[in-house]
Amino acid sequence: METESSVTGGYRRRFTGFLRKCMFSVLSMGPVPNHIAFIMDGNRRYAKKRNLQLGEGHRAGFASLMWILGYCYELGVKYVTIYAFSIDNFKRRPNEVQVLMDLMLEKIDELLKEESLVRQYGIQLYFIGNLKLLSDNVREAVERAMEITAKNNKLVLLICVPYTSTDEILHAVEESCQDKLDHSQAVKQTNGSTDHCNQTSQEDHEHDIKVVDIEKRMYMAAAPDLDILIRSSGETRLSNFLLYQSDKCQLYSPAALWPELGLWHFVWAVLSYQRSYSYFEKKRKQL
């Protein structure tokens, strides 16, 4: 009976895989999103609904992430961004924050194992956010993961931890101001002081901060424009995630909690994007 059950399960998996490939072949006839972002909402509610211990919902969420990454790879998506930990999450109970940090260390190690999806699919890990806020051991694990996967080029997984859009924008503005100030001081030291009005006016314009200066100093400058942003659990709030980058992308909010998110939700998000593709392309060309 056990052998018969395993054989039946094997046939079912192969048949499901065949159907998925057929479905993705059809989807690839239309525009394929290059960059998809996920707000992985609902892990705690998933655990509470099933009377699971603290952290088990996040483990189930990690398994869901692996499935979603597989779908993205098979469809040809090149960049995936996930909201793993908000700076605001540090305000949660200390024991919950510690559980999440321990889980992060555990999953980073798991991602780097030889048999992991990261190794199989050639996924580059890129951690985005204010890494100075992480503890030393977590930050070292993050830096090690980025170094080990730096040469992988099939898919880039950007992990926002700890991150908020307001912090990203503040960081970009501060960096831009500091760079302009450093450049101004270097020019003055090279040329010496001058009283010529026209030169002073020219220097003032050269030191103006432009939108492009801000954009290239964003944490997310490492990725192209966002095509789809998916938030699970039916919530439509962005929760301080990619506020600057999400103005011209498809938003999708399925009712499923993050660990419940599956293939059909993913396919529907891509179909919605393809229906709206010409509209968003027109908006981007107007910039």
For the chain, how long is the longest CA-to-CA vector? 93
Determine if the peptide bond prior to 33 is cis (ω within 30°): no
Predicted local distance difference test score (pLDDT) of residue 281: 87
Known catalytic residue at 41: yes
CB 236 within 8 A of CB 253: yes
What residues pair up with 155 in beta bridges, in sequence order? 123
CB 95 within 8 A of CB 53: no
In percent, how much of the chain has pLDDT > 70?
90
What residue spans define the domains of the chain? 30-163+226-285, 166-186+208-218
Predicted local distance difference test score (pLDDT) of residue 198: 54
Reported as a single tens digit per residue, the pLDDT across 47-90 is 999 999 878 999 999 999 999 999 999 999 999 999 999 999 99
The model's confidence at residue 203, banded by pLDDT at 50, 70 and 90, is low
Please give the model's pTM, rounded to 2 decimal places: 0.89
The model's confidence at residue 10, banded by pLDDT at 50, 70 and 90, is low
Average pLDDT, the chain: 89
Burial 136-151 (b: 16+ CB within 10 A, else e): eebeebbeebeeebee
Q: Any idea which of 61-65, 83-87, 259-263, 278-282 has the lowest mean pLDDT? A: 278-282
Is the model's pLDDT at 250 over the cut of 80? yes
The topology (CATH level 3) of 30-163+226-285 is Undecaprenyl pyrophosphate synthetase (3.40.1180)
Reported as a single tens digit per residue, the pLDDT across 156-184 is 999 999 999 999 999 999 999 998 888 77
Half-sphere exposure of 219 (CA within 13 A, CB side): 25
